[in-house]
Amino acid sequence: MHFTWRKPPLASSLSSTVNTSTSRVFSIAQLRLHRKRQGNRWIEGLLWSQELPHVDWTRYHLQVIFVDDEHLTQARLAEGLLESIAEWNGFGRAIYPHSCGVHGHEGEHLDLASFAAMIGEAKRIGISAEVFKPAQARLTREDLDYYDFIIALNADLCADILRCVEEDEKEYYERKVFPLASFKSCCTDEVLLREGGTALLKRCLRETMEPELVQARNQNDIPSLGTSASLDEWQLMVNCILISTAGLFTYLVEAYPEDLEQQWLE
């Protein structure tokens, strides 16, 4: 396997997670309560939608892998953002993100200039620089079985991912492979920009996203950048990944059983 498996905690040890992250877990509870009070039941329809994946929390954790073309920037950014959002909201030991590419050069590292640039970007948006350190990894057939969700950084990559399996298997695996942008509508602007105890995002992420939120919302997919991309184009891409990753997190959390914490404590 190319990935570094992040072993989830045993169910018996999860009670400490619930206790130590009470404030952030309570934030999610407050967010749900707010939606019910406002009558916003659109997310319930999405959870039963045939266009988005079924979420199975019965193993008490989810393994998610982001896939881009060559495992250089986009998938790593999405991995770091989901890790940051999950930890901020008390789900750092329940949602485990990873990344790879479909056409990456297995074992190769980012060149020094690219690595330095990515470290600076990680610091700017408040995610772990560790996601840019591993060598490039290529998606394998086995990954489609090991991960709960395979999230493509653009819609065209879904077909490339499904080429890993036989034709008669595609119908099954299509239930696990989705473009990241398909989750963009799972999180409203109000939730993205919320401050205080119910904030979904850290302040640095909100400040990064807010100036270009409308423009990023209007993108149908995650933009692909060429070698001569401008700073504005880069920022737009980052914001598109951020909004869609926040939507993915929200979707997963809304499928989280209401009584799961109590099951951990029993």
Q: How confident is the model at residue 265 (pLDDT cuts 50, 70, 90)?
A: low
pLDDT digits (tens, 9 = 90+) for 42-100: 455 555 455 788 888 888 899 999 999 989 899 999 999 999 999 999 899 999 999 99
3 state SS of 177: strand
Structure confidence at residue 18 as a pLDDT band (50, 70, 90): very low
Q: What angle do CA 37, 43, 48 make, to 5 degrees?
A: 135
* Residue ranges covered by each domain of the chain: 14-265
Q: Characterise 126 by phi-psi region: left (phi > 0), alpha (psi -120 to 50), beta (else).
A: left
| 207-236 mean pLDDT | 88
CATH of domain 14-265: 3.40.50.2300
Handedness of CA 152, 154, 155, 156 (dihedral sign): negative
**Of residues 131, 238, 240, 249, the one with CA closest to residue 200:** 249
pLDDT of residue 115: 80
Is the model's pLDDT at 212 over the cut of 60?
yes
Q: Strand order of the sheet with strand 149-152?
A: 95-101, 62-68, 149-152, 177-179
* 8 A C-beta contact, residue 128 and residue 80: yes
The yes-or-no verdict on residue 142 having pLDDT over 90 is yes
* Predicted structure pTM score: 0.81
